[in-house]
Structure 1
Amino acid sequence: MELYVEIIPDTDGRQLRVAWHDREVRYHALWLREHSPDAETLDPRTGQRLIEAAALPLDIALVEARQESETLRLVFSDGHRARFPLADLAGPPPVTERERWDASLSALPVADFDRAIDSDHALLDMLESLERFGFVKVRGVPLELEGMMPLVARLGPLRRTNWGGIADVKSIAEAFDLTMTQRGLEPHTDNPYRDPIPGYIWLHCLSNADSGGDSTLADGFMAAQRLRREHPDAFDCLTQTQVRFRYRDEEAHLESEGPLIELDSAGRVVRVRYNNRTERIPPLPPETLARYYAARRQFFALITSPALTLTPKLAPGEMLIMDNYRLLHGRTAFHLTQGVRHLRQGYVDRDTTASRRLTLRRQLAPVSSTGPQATESRESA
């Protein structure tokens, strides 16, 4: 890897220019010093810093910089010497591209339960699909109340809430409570009143309805992208207005706050919140509320649009894993002539899921790849 290296003149040795064939990066000398990859500075096993970065001299400078094979050799004004692998300076590791989708998505991401249990390669393929699309359908899940747990255990602990671990989502033909009825459910994200919000929803089907009862999925990132393009004022409003969400019963009082569309420091959408039942917008000035209500209506029109909605029906032994920061889910109304529509739902947090994916990617690269088994046609969904 050939590059151009120069300690930038007139910076007193405090800036380094590194130029590749396609781009140029400037590095602060103190940044390089505190990221020095030697065993005195960073723990070789964990990468944790062993020195106190805040105690380094603010005027630390570079006195020598040159390329040696696939490393960059640096000497600092405090006498420290370091060799940076050029690959580490070239940029962050590749990320899984998040594919925004709508109702035209021709193939759903799928995984096989037993293969994901037995094979790290299959598990990584499942997790990469989950990161790419925001959901994955898992087939072959045991028809047991705790059927999902062997796969959960491959990632990390089940997230427990005030409802326990895995909760029943059950409807019966002769319902006596609203939660057990056969009505449809509007698109929503789960539990925006929690801190942190659960990262992934695991929804395992034990039995389903005679007709209807299809899951509905909408890509919140696609909806936000379209809102940004078609109604930029509404997009700005929903990213800037802080909304409270609340759940309260005899044993719990849960509240949290955030915008319906959340951006990162680079302006990219990283989370959507939408839950009509628990939203509690504060009594903001009337003109602010008027703008918010109009923007929320436009966003709602998108997330309920047939053009953005998938309706996969879960059969017994199938499970959906959904990104609760991205996916809005619901269900169509259904009809039961007899029996019970019974699904089981649990949550797994984002940190353990991401850690497992990134660790497997590092351990298995470059041999894992998404094969033909990773998708299914809409006709067979």
Structure 2
Amino acid sequence: MPALPGPGLVPERAPAARAADARRLLARDGAVILTGWESTEDALFTAAAGVLGSRLRQLFPPRLRRAADAGPVHLHADSFDLLVDIGGVPVRHRDPDEDHVLIQCVRAPGSGGRSFLADAYRFADDCRADDPELWEFLTGTDVDLYGAWSPDLRGLPATPRVARHVEYTRTGRRIVRRAEGAVPLHRDPATAHVRAMLDRFGKTVRALEDGLPRFTLAEGEILLLDNYRCWHGREAHTGDRAVRILTLRTTDAR
């Protein structure tokens, strides 16, 4: 795949029978489209096992997302902190450090709904040169990742999840986070500055979207993403649209 200007990314396709090709493309680009799969929930698990193999460590419950005549979904990386109690046993349904996500097209909408990706590593590298103040904030300031949601969402832990937008795992993988839930830490003396930088970050990312290349998934196709490296989103659409989503952790996760 020829390099695109800026952080835009169009993933290449790899058939189900060629897991090694998919693995290579995922390592190179941070994203790959897996073809030749039936539109079933089992396909997500089988595809994840085929491409990621023995690196798999933790799978979270798959989610079926349906939408009708929906607005756009802006660039983001999947992450959440959701712990539920089932029969007195704590069960994790989502994790802040999910490092891969699989998205399968179950039903394409009548019109619109095209997907787009950004290589967040390239965004961060460009940001260091283009906006050093924002880069310093992303790499050096702790925030509460889900504080904007915690008062209203049952199951989200009351303990703040403190992190920086750009961090590294103990194995050296870079994480570049992007979510809508981040807020300043409680009583942070720099609250006004943090709020201003979060707003600046959001506007900077949003400004990328119009210029990113678009692509579509056929029914059954699976978009596999390195969730530490790639942000994803989609356009508004008319008609019904449905996708299945599987998030997971590998041996390289934080």
Preserved contact between residue 104 and residue 307 of structure 1 (Cα < 8 Å): no
- 5 Å-filtered alignment, 1:344-359, equals 344-351=244-251
The aligned residue for residue 189 of structure 1 is 77
Residue 201 in structure 1 maps to residue 71 in structure 2: no
For residues 43-69 of structure 1, the C-alpha deviation after alignment (integer angstroms, 9 at most, x for no partner) is xxxxxxxxxxxxxxxxxxxxxxxxxxx
The counterpart of 1:296, out of the listed 198, 201, 212, is 198
Residue 139 in structure 1 maps to residue 35 in structure 2: yes
For residues 272-327 of structure 1, the C-alpha deviation after alignment (integer angstroms, 9 at most, x for no partner) is 11211x22321322xx3343344334433442214762322112121101111111
TM-superposed CA distance for 1:200, in Å, is 0.4
Paired with 1:308 and 1:204, the residues of 2 have a C-alpha distance of 24
Paired with 1:319 and 1:210, the residues of 2 have a C-alpha distance of 19
The aligned residue for residue 325 of structure 1 is 228
The aligned residue for residue 238 of structure 2 is 335
SS at structure 1 position matched to 2:138: helix
TM-superposed CA distance for 1:147, in Å, is 2.2
Paired with 1:270 and 1:149, the residues of 2 have a C-alpha distance of 25
Preserved contact between residue 210 and residue 335 of structure 1 (Cα < 8 Å): yes
Paired with 1:313 and 1:284, the residues of 2 have a C-alpha distance of 43
TM-superposed CA distance for 1:242, in Å, is 0.5
Alpha-carbon spacing, 1:187–1:196, altered in 2? closer, same or farther (3 Å): closer
Q: Which structure 1 residue ranges, 4+ long, deviate > 6 Å from structure 2?
A: none
2:191 is aligned with what amino acid?
A: L
Residue 253 in structure 1 maps to residue 157 in structure 2: yes
The aligned residue for residue 124 of structure 1 is 20
1:262 is aligned with what amino acid?
A: E
TM-superposed CA distance for 1:197, in Å, is 1.0
Alpha-carbon spacing, 1:224–1:284, altered in 2? closer, same or farther (3 Å): same
Preserved contact between residue 189 and residue 274 of structure 1 (Cα < 8 Å): yes
Q: CA RMSD in A?
A: 2.9
Paired with 1:271 and 1:103, the residues of 2 have a C-alpha distance of 15
TM-superposed CA distance for 1:209, in Å, is 0.5
TM-superposed CA distance for 1:344, in Å, is 0.5
The aligned residue for residue 188 of structure 2 is 284
The aligned residue for residue 152 of structure 1 is 48
* Residues paired across the two proteins, number: 228
Identical aligned residues as a percent? 22
Residue 274 in structure 1 maps to residue 178 in structure 2: yes
TM-score in terms of structure 2 length: 0.77
1:232 is aligned with what amino acid?
A: P
The aligned residue for residue 111 of structure 1 is 14
Paired with 1:138 and 1:332, the residues of 2 have a C-alpha distance of 21
Preserved contact between residue 192 and residue 256 of structure 1 (Cα < 8 Å): no
Paired with 1:252 and 1:108, the residues of 2 have a C-alpha distance of 33
Preserved contact between residue 214 and residue 332 of structure 1 (Cα < 8 Å): yes
SS at structure 2 position matched to 1:148: helix
The aligned residue for residue 89 of structure 2 is none
The aligned residue for residue 86 of structure 2 is none
Structure 2: state its 5+ residue gaps: 82-93
TM-superposed CA distance for 1:211, in Å, is 0.8
| Structure number with bigger Rg | 1
- 5 Å-filtered alignment, 1:48-63, equals none
SS at structure 1 position matched to 2:39: coil
For residues 196-228 of structure 1, the C-alpha deviation after alignment (integer angstroms, 9 at most, x for no partner) is 511100000111101111122111111111110
Paired with 2:179 and 2:42, the residues of 1 have a C-alpha distance of 28
Paired with 2:29 and 2:5, the residues of 1 have a C-alpha distance of 8
Preserved contact between residue 59 and residue 249 of structure 2 (Cα < 8 Å): no
1:183 is aligned with what amino acid?
A: G
The counterpart of 1:315, out of the listed 218, 224, 227, is 218
Alpha-carbon spacing, 1:263–1:234, altered in 2? closer, same or farther (3 Å): farther
